[in-house]
Structure 1
């Protein structure tokens, strides 16, 4: 038995990452309420209470962070599966096979090429012939079925062009952030991320009085071992849940556009649904810029030590 591509486009959970971001953000804003629920599930062993609420805030922020990384990975899987090759669009009906047989290592390399500029996102402006229309790759990817100038006026077409410019900026940003995956791997594999450093103080060398104090109490750390160089690296990142929340939503909405309009183009549409309105999302530079900006002073701290032979 094989899932029909129509069923896939119609039933795919295109809102998955945005819904996760919303409920995790809501939990984060209501720590006391969720802690009361968690506390009711605590155990007692040998007369000692086993606390489950010590790291609730850390855990929720870690989940928000993982959700953001996963939304990036999911977006790029669709992006590369649907991206035209040699000026020709792939068969959209083979989407599930393309995803299931994805060469994720090769896709990771492509993400790296976008991050370092080897793969220029101006490819989204290149034109392809698709069902009699000469359209940009960007419009084919994110606004399929909106090619007719009779049904979609000049104002809409200009909005799509501007939206694709904002999408380019988003793709470049998430490619840069995803191309170094040691943090994501630390979350995925054995949950090797932990609260470690509370603060860093910079002292006056003569008086030993504190000059600068960086609050790192809301941070996550993970360890990397480079045995070849006899080096141990501790990386610490301040949580930025507001940004993770916003960026997860943007990635989710990019996926939504790619899938929702294909469910119209390739899915089953009975007579009752033929006249239904379909929502699509236009992106703008102001919203993208606001979401991309960091809300913490320090993004990365790296402590390295080497054994000297």
Structure 2
């Protein structure tokens, strides 16, 4: 059952997956939503943890950000609001796992409120290896691509037919792709469906990404952090992931065989096993 989270300016939606063990919070990538974690979440719950995911602002069933304000600090604020209102704040067992922007936002949240998480599992956090202050980039290729993204289809079946054969979706686990389409589109009055993450919102997220400032403050994070990346990624490649780990006081690196940037949606079993393994490691 969805849970409403009031941030004071917008309402977010969170999802409880069950389980009664130590809590795990899952944070999704740009353009996706909290329910896309279904194949991973179900495997985690089967192993015991109590699992939550949520929709960031502008994604899924959460509200859009007022004024297209998608500075990545807002995503850290979303995380902290979810942690607080789900009653997870102060739990010394709380593990957070994030993918791409979701992973970067988790690191930012820990920087802003140290000790929020016991451990952070971060798959290819989108960080920019510079000690200089970087500015938003409206001409970012990912932002430009998002602006051109098709937003409306006659049906979910038509959307699936369009997505399934195209990269990167052709590499996704079938259940993850189905969750993305089933819950990432909303019904329109004329019977068609449209993306819940509007192209202009997604573009604003990408434009702000370069200015997230997380890399410059990595040394402030004292909790154990596992930085995972795909062997075949074209995003946070192993060399960059290693640079991130070097800055983390308690960082470690895992290169996951056969995976790309969308690893959590490609091989949910391997990702769930990695998260569970990290949760059980003494550090």
TM bracket (short chain): under 0.3
Q: Per chain length, whose mean CA-contact separation is higher, i.e. which structure has more relative contact order (CA < 8 Å, sep 6+)? A: 1
More helix by share: 1
